[in-house]
Amino acid sequence: MTLRELEGQYSVLFEMAEEGNIDPQIMKDTLECVDYEFEQKAEAYATIIDTLAGEVDTIDKEVARLTEMKRTRKNNIDYMKKALQRAMITADKKKFKTNFHSFSIRKNAPSLDNVDSFKVPDEYMVVTKTVNRTELLKAVKANPEAFEGIASLKQTESLVIK
């Protein structure tokens, strides 16, 4: 029986109990049976959740490993390009071809260097407003009426499996 079907059985039982259409002993026996199935289903869910959580940890470790491998490869590429560029400049070979590749040294587009942001005129500055959610939460908790229409509190629930 699925978890959804068990939920449905609980609903039907509670409805029958509210209407008074069920013998209390039958209600007790049926509830015990449904409870047992529900607990077995919950245990199966917890086992699957544990397995999936373990897989997530393994995936996180693999992502970290691959990220580090990617970073190392990029660093190697950058080092090799700089070494080749330095060698080409030293050898005064700024442009040449081989059977498989063409090599050249070109000037890149101009970019800014050593910008003192305190001296830059306001017309070139961008101001970004962000909400300090931690401080706002404290303020709303202290005085919810003051923030009506601006922010509100919500309280959610979560499942804990130990």
Structure confidence at residue 33 (pLDDT): 82
Tell me the pLDDT tens digit for each residue of 25-58.
Answer: 877 877 788 888 888 889 989 999 999 999 999 9
Structure confidence at residue 95 (pLDDT): 94
94 vs 106: CA distance, rounded Å: 8
Q: Phi and psi at residue 96, in whole multiples of 5°?
A: -165, 165
Q: Phi and psi at residue 107, in whole multiples of 5°?
A: -85, 135
3-state secondary structure of 49: helix
What residues does 104 pair with on adjacent strands? 95
Residue 45 contacts residue 21 (beta carbons within 8 Å):
no
Q: Is pLDDT at 22 greater than 80 in this prediction?
A: no
Structure confidence at residue 161 (pLDDT): 78
81 vs 86: CA distance, rounded Å: 9
DSSP structure class, residue 149: T
Tell me the pLDDT tens digit for each residue of 3-18.
Answer: 888 888 878 877 777 7
The residue among 161, 159, 139 whose CA lies nearest residue 150 is: 139
3-state secondary structure of 31: helix
Residue 60 contacts residue 39 (beta carbons within 8 Å):
no
